[in-house]
Amino acid sequence: MTEMDIKLLKRTAEIAHEAMEKGNHPFGALLADKDGNILMEQGNAFTEGGSAYHAETLLLLRAAAEYSPDFLKECTLYSNFEPCCMCTGALYWTNVGRLVFGATEKDLLSFTGDNEENPTFSLSSREVVARGQKEIVIEGPVEDRELLEEILRDHAGFWK
């Protein structure tokens, strides 16, 4: 991961915190172009649509309506957590060429347990992409301990 990746992942943690302050689950995502310019940001929207309103899927659907698949192939989705299989599917179908995430799906499960608002899959984004026909670059989890702690902080106690 580059310094720019770390900076943009930090922003996803801020977006997640903002979502949590609005009563949503603490997840945040952003889409950046090949130069690292932020094109869109999206927090989780649980209060608007329930458990299916994940930050990544909402952002990717907006991106697909605004940008061409060829343009999106050169873009990166950043997410504070590894996208679930639904969100990874949205990444695949919108043609975004790169994913960078902070904490893993397994990390998330350690917080959510069997919480009915987030029945976490035990299925990594890499496993989902490996079964497709597109090459998508996936980087994560983040190795920067300070950033990882920042990402995990909002989830401590949230799911109890």
By annotation, the residues acting in catalysis are 56
- Name the token pair of 68: 């061409």
| Host H or E run for residue 148 | helix 145-153
Of 76, 82, 72, residue with least CA distance to 2: 76
DSSP string, 19-34: HHHTTS-S-EEEEE-T
- Among 81, 79, 74, CA closest to 95: 74
Q: In whole angstroms, what is the distance from residue 42 CA to residue 54 CA? A: 9
d(CA 54, CA 29): 9
Say how far apart CA 3 and CA 6 lie, in whole Å: 5
